[in-house]
Amino acid sequence: MIDILLVVCLLVAFFATFFATKWWIKRANKVGLVGADMNKFEKRNIAEIGGLPVLMGFLFGVLLYVGYRTFISHTAEFNLEILAVTSTITIIAIIGLMDDILGWKLGLQKWQKPLFTLFAALPVMMINIGKSQMILPLIGQVDLGIIYPIIFVPVFIMIFANGFNMLAGYNGLEAGLGIIILGALGYIVWIDQGLGKVAMLAGVMIACLVGFLIFNSFPAAIFPGDTFTYSVGALIAIVAILGNAEKAALFLLIPFVIEFLLKLRGGFKKESFGKPNQDNSLEMPYKKIYGLEHLFIWFLKKVKKRAFEREVVISLYVFELIFVLGVLITL
């Protein structure tokens, strides 16, 4: 049976993000909130901080859901959890906004970002979301008790908020990966756990990401920024916690772990961008591979002699979908 309320919320989230993004692109270009598109030969300037219209669309969609349930259907079940989630996502978006506006030179230091995202997890910590019972390898089922909300929840959110920022910088990459991962987790918690309200959170953000991707796909008219990646990464973690799907989320995070290790290889000083030619095909920027993006540039050049940004992004989509398939097979 189709949930009309959910459909309306998804449509509101999509159109709110679509029109807010369109409006933001014009205003950002006008006031100079732009950055160079590094994977293009001409290095054209693109509007930045696309996470703000996405946050707006997400809040519109989710709060409409809460408002209907409160004033029309007169039920408060799960409303507290939803409001805590929106609070955490908003705080994390503000942290990302600080970094986007000040830039990597004046913005948050590497050690400050994890610390601030731990603070952002306070709203969901205080209401003790998720189940403290977990099955650990070689041990079996254990109840973590207060350790779960006080330590596990904020650390889990911190890992995903910062980890989702690893694979970034290519037109459509972050939004597309967000759609894939949240789509998989939303399906898992809905089908396997029967948690439609948790799946709703994933669905509303997916609607926002689709609205944003229209402007962010190649050739992009707007960049997502840390405001975007921190928010989407944190929501992935929260959906997994609420849906008791932490193991699935960690498995889906593997490509980002690989990216982290490859960046670690370069001391986090190597850029993920390719080296664009005049035809906008990409060359390896370094002799060695310091990111999954470099790996797929190298692979595409071996297979078809040239690698383009869109092909690299699609390759990373497919790579993530392999892990999605692995998770779904185990259901």
**pLDDT average, residue stretch 61-87:** 93
Nearest Cα to 300, choosing from 292, 286, 311?
311
Task: Please give the residue that has the higher pLDDT: either 192 or 302.
Answer: 302
**In this predicted model, what pLDDT tens digit does every residue of 206-246 receive, in sequence order?**
999 999 999 999 999 999 999 999 999 999 999 999 999 99
96-100, 109-113, 164-168, 215-219, range with the lowest pLDDT: 109-113
Max Cα–Cα distance, the chain, nearest Å: 62
Other Cβ atoms closer than 10 A to 257 = 13
User: Does residue 331 lie within any of the structural domains?
Assistant: no
**pLDDT average, residue stretch 42-54:** 95
**In this predicted model, what pLDDT tens digit does every residue of 258-314 receive, in sequence order?**
999 999 999 989 999 999 999 999 999 999 999 999 999 999 999 999 999 999 999
Alpha-carbon dihedral 104, 108, 110, 113, rounded to 10 degrees: -130
Residue 112 has a pLDDT of 75
**In this predicted model, what pLDDT tens digit does every residue of 29-42 receive, in sequence order?**
999 999 999 999 99
User: Does residue 17 lie within any of the structural domains?
Assistant: yes
Q: What percentage of the chain exceeds 90 in pLDDT?
A: 79
User: Does residue 284 lie within any of the structural domains?
Assistant: no
Residue 2 has a pLDDT of 58
Number of domains in the chain: 1
Residue 273 has a pLDDT of 96
Distance (Å, rounded) from C-alpha 249 to C-alpha 257? Answer: 12
pLDDT interval class at 1 (50, 70, 90)? very low
Distance (Å, rounded) from C-alpha 79 to C-alpha 72? Answer: 14
Residue 225 has a pLDDT of 95
User: Does residue 224 lie within any of the structural domains?
Assistant: yes
* pTM for this entry: 0.94
**In this predicted model, what pLDDT tens digit does every residue of 201-211 receive, in sequence order?**
999 999 999 99
Residue 140 has a pLDDT of 61
User: Does residue 42 lie within any of the structural domains?
Assistant: yes
**pLDDT average, residue stretch 320-327:** 97
Contact 300, 315 (CB under 8 A): yes
pLDDT at 178 over 50: yes
User: Does residue 305 lie within any of the structural domains?
Assistant: no
Q: Are strands 45-47 and 34-36 parallel, antiparallel or unpaired?
A: antiparallel
Residue 42 has a pLDDT of 92
CB neighbours of 88 closer than 8 A, spacing ≥ 6?
Answer: 120, 121, 122, 123, 124, 157, 234, 238
pLDDT at 68 over 80: yes
User: Does residue 65 lie within any of the structural domains?
Assistant: yes
pLDDT at 171 over 80: yes
Tokens representing residue 68 in the block = 């209907």
Average pLDDT over the chain reads: 92
Expressed as residue numbers, the domain containing 172 is 4-246
Contact 200, 65 (CB under 8 A): yes
**In this predicted model, what pLDDT tens digit does every residue of 102-137 receive, in sequence order?**
765 556 666 677 788 888 999 999 888 877 776 655
- The three state secondary structure string of the chain is CCCHHHHHHHHHHHHHHHHHHHHHHHHHHHHCCEEECCCCCCCCEEECCCHHHHHHHHHHHHHHHHHHHHHCCCCCCCHHHHHHHHHHHHHHHHHHHHHHHHHHHHCCCCCHHHHHHHHHCHHHHHCCCCCCEEEECCCEEEECCCHHHHHHHHHHHHHHHHHCCCCCCCCCHHHHHHHHHHHHHHHHHHHCCCCHHHHHHHHHHHHHHHHHHHHHCCCCCECCHHHHHHHHHHHHHHHHHHCCCHHHHHHHCHHHHHHHHHHHHCCCCCCCCCEECCCCEEECCCCCCCCHHHHHHHHHHHHHCCCEHHHHHHHHHHHHHHHHHHHHHCC
Distance (Å, rounded) from C-alpha 313 to C-alpha 304? Answer: 16
Residue 137 has a pLDDT of 54
